[in-house]
Amino acid sequence: MSELPQLVCASANPDKVAEIALVLDGLVDLLPRPEGLADVVEDAPDLEGNARLKAVAVCTAAGAAAVSDDTGLEVDALGGAPGVYSARYAGEDASYQDNVDKLLAELDRVGASTPEQRGARFRTAVMVVWPDGDELCVEGVVEGIIAAEPTGEGGFGYDPVFIPVERDGRTFAQMADEKHEISHRGRAFRALAAALRERATD
């Protein structure tokens, strides 16, 4: 029997699951999402609410503690958009490229052409829900700017156009695993690991 706390991963996105597993390696025994579970309708008004909806659904289906996250890209020049709609910014079946293309087009439309006008942040809310109804939520944020054009082959989503201010001008897509040291998801899941350790000692 594993001594690590077990959490069922609510995400069906293999890219997200790989990142989560990398960050939580050695801290949590991450179990896969139950097969055949329908997609959860993410209609909450904020990231925390969407993370809760997914975690509750998977916790109910699996009968075990479940962990879920929801991430949004908030662009200042667009009034915080795409925010909670980041994954479907260009439509319900949008590809990563579709979303990036729409983001760059919207920034062009509002005349945000300089780095100072293209400030943004990634925000991740992580929620754990237990079968008894208990829950835990943490957050991770990283500030950056939106690049003029996609650069880099790694990562996923908006990574090719997000330049974190804490590094040397590379996009997340150019960073490989170094990204996880400063990324929103890395920070959120490290905060989760710390909260779970604290919970275990209470």
Per-residue pLDDT tens over the stretch 145-187:
999 999 999 889 999 999 999 999 999 999 988 898 899 998 9
CA angle 79, 184, 171 (to 5 degrees): 80
Indicate the helix (H) or strand (E) that contains 83. Answer: strand 82-83
- 70 catalytically annotated: yes
In whole angstroms, give the CA distance from residue 80 to residue 86.
10
Spatial distance between the Cα atoms of 112 and 118, rounded to a whole number of angstroms: 6
Given a contact cutoff of 8 angstroms between Cβ atoms, the answer to whether 28 and 7 are in contact is yes
d(CA 120, CA 17): 24
Q: Say what the pLDDT of residue 52 is.
A: 96
pLDDT at 2 over 70: no
What confidence category does residue 13 fall into, taking pLDDT thresholds of 50, 70 and 90? confident
- Tell me, what DSSP letter sits at residue 184? H
Report CA-CA distances (Å) from 11 to 28, 68, 70: 15, 6, 9
Set 25, 69, 70, 168: catalytic member: 70
Going along the chain from its start, the domains and CATH numbers come out as: 6-201 (3.90.950.10)
Look-up of token digits 């990562």: 155
